[in-house]
Structure 1
Amino acid sequence: MRGVPIALVVLLSAAVAACDQTAPPSGAPRDLAAALPLVTTVTPVITAVTWPPAASVDRGALAALPETAAHAARSSQVPVLVPSRRELLAAPVIVAKEHWTSFWARTESITVSLTMTRLTRKVPGIPPLQGAHAVRGAPAFITANEGIWTAAWIENGVSYALDVECASPEAPSCASDALLRELASALVYVGGVGAKTAGDRP
């Protein structure tokens, strides 16, 4: 998930630092670049999706979505999770593509986005990192950058990344990861192509 880019940054940073040294340490190879593993473009892998039971679709949340957003959710190739707060379901933007789906919504106080993808990149020789936190019962990474809180985890065989930003950087609700965790735990499943039921709208 996000562990691979971090590992790559560390690896490339080490290479740059080594190449910038005017006098390599004693015993170091003459060609430091040749001593490092060759990092090439990694082809994304499509992971197998585990679809939740169709009966677990939150019909109330699905009905609260505008028709355009609901249609995008139903056509998604990955299980779509959305916030359960009705104010975030009033006018969201849901985009469904071949391998990923995104959700975006804004209120007067917060902006919430959620990216869901079934693509992964695995670099040979670099084991996947495991988050030190827990979100929705799964290991997760939780970070804060320029006032935006982010949680990343794997669920249903899919990588999810939830971002929460407060309209005011000084807002008490964004002073910690409490709001992020609250929104993450309350995400509900509204479907996708693997959750077709007779009662779905066309």
Structure 2
Amino acid sequence: MATAWYGHDGIPINPSVRAEHLRQVSLFTWAFVRSMKRHLSPPDEDEAAFVQEIRARLSPSQAEAIISAVHRPNRALYDLSVAIDRLPMHFMRKTEINKNLSIFEDTLGGCERLLSSPVPLFYSRHTARFLSTWLLLLPFALYEPFKGSWNHVAEIPAIALASVFLFGIEELATQLEEPFTILPMQGFCDKIGMWCDEIVSWRGQGLDDNVYE
């Protein structure tokens, strides 16, 4: 939207200024999702890589402002909002773009609630204990149905298979309480950054700009 809507009321556009303005929007869009990934990951897993990537792509002052912030995604979102505010376009178009920033903030809040509100540990332990007890007693329930096999030996693979599936479901439920450590979020961030850079590279294409050199 910023790339297509850049410019206002026929004011001449300086290509180099436009490129820098849109580059800032692209960078801070990436910085927001990268900060969000760091915010939702264990500190010892992602801190060093986060600092290195932020310093590599942003200017020193911009990078340090995000790194030193208590809530890094909010700082990156603030910088993105400032970058959008600097774009020369009609205020109604800026309003439409800022609506998307509100969606970003809502999504971040939803992820934070998911991370900070896991199922109580007692519930998880109770489920695991109940399942273990049920599977432990299952051979007695299957004793009669498997009497046709030699020495009830067919019970062993049957119970093993049931245990694999049921404990697998229980483990999946546990991991879904905190999916951020198992999702390929680094790949998401890299692709978002790449796509943002590609979108801003389309600046001026298909538009009748009043461009001056």
TM-score by length of 1: 0.23
Higher relative contact order (CA 8 A, sep 6+): 2
Choose between structure 1 and 2: higher strand proportion: 1
Choose between structure 1 and 2: higher helix proportion: 2
Over alpha carbons, which structure has the higher Rg?
2
